[in-house]
Amino acid sequence: MNHIQQFNELHTAEEILFLGNAWDLLSAFQLEQAGFRAIGTTSWGIAGSLGLADGELVDFDRHLGIIKSIVDHVKVPVTADLEAGYGEHTATIVHNVLKAADIGVAGINLEDSLKGQTGLRESSRHGKLLSDIRTALIQRGFKDLYINARIDTYLQQPEPLAETLERAAVYVESGASGIFVPGLKAEADIRLIAQEIHVPLNVMSLPGLTEGNTLKEWGVKRFSFGNALFDKITACLEHHAAQCIEGQSTAHLYR
The model's pLDDT over 202-223, given as tens digits with 9 standing for 90+, comes to 999 999 999 999 999 999 999 9
pLDDT confidence of residue 115: 85
Q: Kindly report, residue by residue over 75-129, the tens digit of the pLDDT.
A: 999 999 999 999 999 999 999 999 999 999 999 999 999 987 789 999 999 999 9
Q: Give the C-alpha separation, 102 to 100, whole Å.
A: 5
Q: Kindly report, residue by residue over 41-86, the tens digit of the pLDDT.
A: 999 999 999 999 999 999 999 999 999 999 999 999 999 999 999 9
pLDDT confidence of residue 117: 79
Asked if the model's pLDDT at residue 238 lies above 80, the reply is: yes
133-139 contacts: CB < 8 A, separation 24 or more? 133/93, 133/94, 133/97, 133/175, 134/174, 134/175, 135/175, 136/94, 136/97, 136/98, 137/97, 137/98, 137/101
Distances, alpha carbon 104 to alpha carbons 138, 192, 210, 252, in Å: 15, 34, 30, 42
pLDDT confidence of residue 1: 78
- List of domains in the chain: 3-227 (3.20.20.60)
Asked if the model's pLDDT at residue 170 lies above 90, the reply is: yes
Under the banding of pLDDT at 50, 70 and 90, the label for residue 26 is very high
pLDDT confidence of residue 189: 98
What phi and psi, each to the nearest 5 degrees, are found at residue 74? -105, 160
pTM: 0.97
